[in-house]
Amino acid sequence: MDIFIVELMVVFVAAVVLGMVFRFFKLPSLVGQVVAGFIIGATGIIGHQSVDALKIFSTLGVTLLLFLIGLEGLFLFLFLD
């Protein structure tokens, strides 16, 4: 379980750092976080120990992505004709 926490921290730190870099260049931080996920997933920086850990990462990632999209959305347009 200790390796899972280390892998989770690597993913979170990479997402935060790339989010801040993209925000510095006046781009949405969400794009930077998605790019961080692509980089980590494609290069295999964190060697996934099991399929269960990968399933948890993917579920957590999709949940956080949908949460961030909900925070950045403008719900005023839903009520305008």
Instruction: Give the DSSP per-residue string, 20-53.
Output: HHHHHTTS-HHHHHHHHHHHHHHHTSS----HHH
pLDDT value of position 69: 76
Model pLDDT for residues 13-71, shown as the tens digit of each residue: 988 999 999 999 999 888 888 888 888 877 766 665 566 777 777 788 788 878 877 77
Is 81 a residue whose pLDDT tops 60?
Answer: no
* 3-state percent helix, strand, coil for the chain, nearest multiple of 5: 80, 0, 20
pLDDT value of position 71: 76
pTM: 0.62
pLDDT value of position 48: 58
